[in-house]
Amino acid sequence: MPIDLKLERFKEENQEELEFCPSAHHPSAPAHESFDISTTVDPSYVIALIRKLLPSDVKIGEKDALGSDEWNKGPKTKGLEFHAVNLSENGGEVEAMAAAQNFGEVDNTKAVDDELQHHHDKHQGVMVGEETWEECGCILWDLAASEDHAEFMVQNLILEVLLATLVVSQSSRITEISLGIIGNLACHETPRKQIASTNGLVKVIVDQLFLDDVPCLCEACRSITLCLQGGEGVVCAEALQDEQILSRILWIADNALNLQLIEKSVGLLLAALESRKEVADILLPPLMKLGLSGLLINLFASEMSILTGERTSERYAVLELILRTIEALSVIDEYSEQICLNKELFQLLNELIKLPDKIEVANSCVTAAVLIANILTDATDLASDLSQDPTFLQGIFDIYPLASGDMEAQSALWSIIARLLSQVQESEMSPSDLHLFVAMFATKVDLIEDELLDHQLDDVEHESSATCGTKVNARRIALKRIFDILTQWKSLEDDKKKVSKGENYINEEDVDNLLNCCHKTWGSCTMDHS
């Protein structure tokens, strides 16, 4: 249901509640105290929605309970005191809910507390039903996607309300919505910082990882993933570093059957690898000790088994995420060896590269190629075996168009081609083996001309880039080797050229065009970069 319709319905069903909001008999706040909110949603209704979420056993008044001994006792929160005006311990001065635009101005804190307490007493014993809570929470969940709304909600204590709710909630649905709101708030920089500085909130979010409800676990993983980003990610990393918590995350990723939960849990692990160095330094050592690399390879093997059987399009995103996480791990010096020397991983990547139909899993294939390039950098001996496999090389050429616009991936592909062809000894090849390579090159003549060689202008424009410099050098080596292999084939006697003609027909015109193209481009590269 659209937000506007939800709000209209909420107004109609909660007229008495909304009448509590002071109107004309309270003067408007001075301009310098008004919230600068650009929204079509009346802020007073947002405030009323937030109030609806406040647990019934949380008293309004007197002092901030966050950080108090009573709060730190945990789930037992009877008599918990909640201050709705000034929670200075949680990230500085926070405007009261009662001071919002269109809500009016009250002269002093005591007056606000008295009025709020009167309203609370009036409705004491009338607990907001789960259905009403869910409706209000879902509206706020939607609104939190907007940065303006998110900042306004944080200014008006939604984080404190959600913290209190998570501590006392006995409803999986209420917990899911609370975490969903926090996840949307965490998409924005300022609210994300406020989440990190709200005393006890990150710990309570992390505690939700021990629930058994799939939607709650999905939202908990999403919220934590977002909180790991930015400068405040260290706060979240410190809350996660206990081995029991990290073991739970790995267990969820390894045992989840729900695709969304697999995606969210692996996404959390990826965030731990790709966040700031301080975050990785905290989380990576215990994660590796607990078997992160083995888990990721097992997940990859499972997805490949499904992919080579009955394909399910819904799983493609999971496969890509797993590969991205393995790739992120492969470039971390302290742990790259565990990835690069893993034979099972290399075999799985080989299978993915050779997959006949790559379009549906294009991103995964590109990531796999980048991983192969990283592995060949550390495990150079593997290039010799791969160089004897023309089908693997063909798979690499097939991936190139899928990496259009990704200079790093294109550089990785050229690196693989150059490494493999440098291992080929064309003068010692049998005519049949030589024929296989030439047949493969001939089928890629248009690709080499259109997709590869026409990027010379881009190289000139970006030749100061380290990535581009590596790409140009690898391309030059690859083109020289293709030229040499084609030349060797051309030197064969006609009868030897016709080996397996029916199966792998070679059009000599294509070979001549490719020779000319390689020589022209290779020669140009030699002159330009010598």
What is the DSSP track for 171-195?
Answer: -HHHHHHHHHHHHHHTTSHHHHHHH
Confidence of residue 502 (pLDDT cuts 50, 70, 90): low
Among all chains, which residue has been given the structure tokens 């060949």? 376
CA distance 306 to 395: 20
Residue 474: predicted pLDDT: 83
Residue 522 has pLDDT above 70, yes or no: no
Which is more confidently placed, 516 or 213? 213
Task: Give the mean model confidence (pLDDT) for residues 166-192.
Answer: 95
Phi first, then psi: what are they for 356, rounded to 5°? -65, -45
Rg from Cα positions in the chain: 31
Which is more confidently placed, 418 or 16? 418
Q: Which of 149-158, 198-207, 462-471, 516-525 has the lowest mean pLDDT?
A: 462-471
Among candidate residues 62, 49, 54, 68, the one with its CA nearest the CA of residue 9: 49
Residue 86: predicted pLDDT: 33
CA atoms within 13 Å, Cβ hemisphere of 29 = 20
Among candidate residues 175, 228, 164, 229, the one with its CA nearest the CA of residue 199: 164
Q: In the chain, count H helices and then E strands.
A: 30, 2
Number of domains observed in the structure of the chain: 2
Please say whether the beta carbons of 89 and 169 come within 8 A. Answer: no
Residue 329 within any structural domain of the chain? no
Last residue of a domain, one of 138, 172, 199: 199
Residue 106: predicted pLDDT: 33
Residue 447: predicted pLDDT: 81
Which is more confidently placed, 492 or 489? 489
Residue 487 within any structural domain of the chain? yes
Task: Give the mean model confidence (pLDDT) for residues 31-55.
Answer: 72
- Residue range(s) defining the domain that contains residue 389: 382-530
Phi first, then psi: what are they for 342, rounded to 5°? -85, 115
Residue 83: predicted pLDDT: 33
Among candidate residues 154, 138, 255, the one with its CA nearest the CA of residue 195: 154
Which is more confidently placed, 71 or 460? 460
Task: Give the mean model confidence (pLDDT) for residues 344-349.
Answer: 95
Residue 521: predicted pLDDT: 66
* Mean pLDDT value across the chain: 78
CA distance 390 to 436: 7
Confidence of residue 443 (pLDDT cuts 50, 70, 90): confident
Which is more confidently placed, 263 or 125? 263
Residue 58 has pLDDT above 80, yes or no: no
- Longest Cα–Cα distance of the chain, Å, equals 103
Residue 25 has pLDDT above 60, yes or no: no
Confidence of residue 65 (pLDDT cuts 50, 70, 90): very low
Neighbour-count burial of 68, counting CB atoms closer than 10 A to its CB (0-12 exposed, 13-18 middle, 19+ buried): middle
Residue 284 within any structural domain of the chain? no
Q: Which range, 40-54, 99-113, 214-228, 516-530, is most confident?
A: 214-228
Strand pairing partners for 81? Answer: 59
Confidence of residue 471 (pLDDT cuts 50, 70, 90): low
Q: Which range, 235-244, 451-460, 494-503, 509-518, is most confident?
A: 235-244
Residue 475 within any structural domain of the chain? yes
Does residue 328 sit in helix, strand or coil?
helix
Residue 448 within any structural domain of the chain? yes
Residue 9 within any structural domain of the chain? yes
Residue 489: predicted pLDDT: 87
Among candidate residues 181, 151, 145, the one with its CA nearest the CA of residue 52: 181
Residue 479 within any structural domain of the chain? yes
Residue 15: predicted pLDDT: 55
pLDDT in tens, 108-124: 334 434 544 544 444 44
Residue 119: predicted pLDDT: 44
Residue 160 has pLDDT above 50, yes or no: yes
Phi first, then psi: what are they for 60, rounded to 5°? -100, 125
CA distance 395 to 384: 17
Please say whether the beta carbons of 132 and 51 come within 8 A. Answer: no
Q: Taking phi first (over 0 means left), then psi (-120 to 50 degrees means alpha), and beta for anything else, what does residue 398 get?
A: alpha
Task: Give the mean model confidence (pLDDT) for residues 48-65.
Answer: 65
Residue 456: predicted pLDDT: 56
Q: Which of 67-76, 107-116, 206-215, 302-311 has the lowest mean pLDDT?
A: 67-76
Task: Give the mean model confidence (pLDDT) for residues 216-239.
Answer: 95
Residue 86 within any structural domain of the chain? yes
Among all chains, which residue has been given the structure tokens 């907001």? 128
Last residue of a domain, one of 199, 223, 240: 199
Residue 464 has pLDDT above 80, yes or no: no
Last residue of a domain, one of 176, 199, 222: 199
| Buried/exposed 224-253: b ≥16 CB within 10 Å, e otherwise | bbbbbbbebbbbbbebbeeeebbebbbebb
